Amino acid sequence: MRRKRNGWLFLALVGLAYGATAVIEPDRARDAFATFLPMLAKMLPALVLVFALMLLAELFLNPERVERWMGSHSGLRGWLLAIVAGMLSTGPAYAWYALLAALRAKGLRTAMLAVILYARAIKLPLLPLLAHYFGVRYAVVLSLFIAGFSVLSGLAMERIDKRPTA
């Protein structure tokens, strides 16, 4: 509960800061808003996708399913699913935080969360370009290293987090 209140408090403080800037320096506030709009236009497709996925997750994913697929007893399938989910995720990482937090509340293992975020470094659309410039072997080995280290990162984060696993 405190966490949600802190988010609203932060949003209110940012709004107050922009409001104060608009009163004190209207030209600077106008410039900031003019910079914000194109950035919002770029982010909007990713945000819409994430909100749609959040809706689908809320409708179709219950805690038992999340626990079975990517919980503490999910096994190799859970690790592979987390790596693939990370590779397939697009857009800015922060746009995914809300969805991942919702999945975590439903039983997503801390390690799987870290794996998803780490495996985002493997960009499927860019693999052909990577292979073109550096060679197929390099692209494959680098991708395997990123996937492997995502698992190590997940295990490390789980040890640091110390949340009880089901």
Q: Closest Cα partner for 98 from 62, 48, 63?
A: 48
pLDDT of residue 145: 96
Residue-by-residue DSSP string for 6-18: HHHHHHHHHHHHH
pLDDT of residue 61: 66
Take residue 98 and report the two structure tokens written for it. 């809300």
pLDDT digits (tens, 9 = 90+) for 131-163: 999 999 999 999 999 999 999 999 999 899 876
Consecutive 10-residue averages of pLDDT for the chain (166 residues): 74 90 90 89 82 76 68 79 86 82 85 92 88 93 96 92 64
Take residue 89 and report the two structure tokens written for it. 């995720």
pTM greater than the 0.85 cutoff: no
Report domain extents, the chain: 1-48, 61-166
